[in-house]
Amino acid sequence: MIDGKAVTLKDLQPGTRLTAATTTTTPVTQRTTTIGSGKLWFVSGNTVIVTLPNNENHEYTVDDNFRFMVNGQPAGVRELKKGMTGSAQKIVEEPITEVARNTVITGQAPAK
């Protein structure tokens, strides 16, 4: 845009003053949530084996990012017992940067 008019590169003249705005970056936290439910088959330390609704057993090593709900109440891994039915939620937060590229070049033609 030169003097408010759209021009092509070949229309530029020597002495034209140009201004460009190119990139904006925004830090964002991406949150991933995984939810599962089932019946506890085995619990020892941070190791949990859960019988899923499809009757498959899966072993998990849980960390502080896991949140458990048993009978509608929050529970930590140390409160879990074999036979309990509940759900687990793991929240993973990862910092990412969103980049928006919107290049606008404006200018003013040289005086004639």
Query: pLDDT tens digit string along 74-96?
Result: 888 888 899 999 888 877 777 87
Query: Between these two residues, 108 and 45, which has the higher pLDDT value?
Result: 45
Distances (CA, A) of 51 to 46, 48, 79: 16, 10, 18
Give the per-residue pLDDT at 32: 66
What is d(CA 107, CA 18) in angstroms, rounded to the nearest whole number?
Answer: 4
The residue whose two tokens read 């030169």 is 2
Mind listing the pLDDT tens digit for each residue in 15-74?
888 877 777 777 877 776 566 889 999 999 889 899 988 999 988 888 767 788 888 888
Q: Among positive and negative, which fits the CA dihedral 77, 83, 87, 88?
A: positive
Give residue limits of the domains in the chain. 29-95
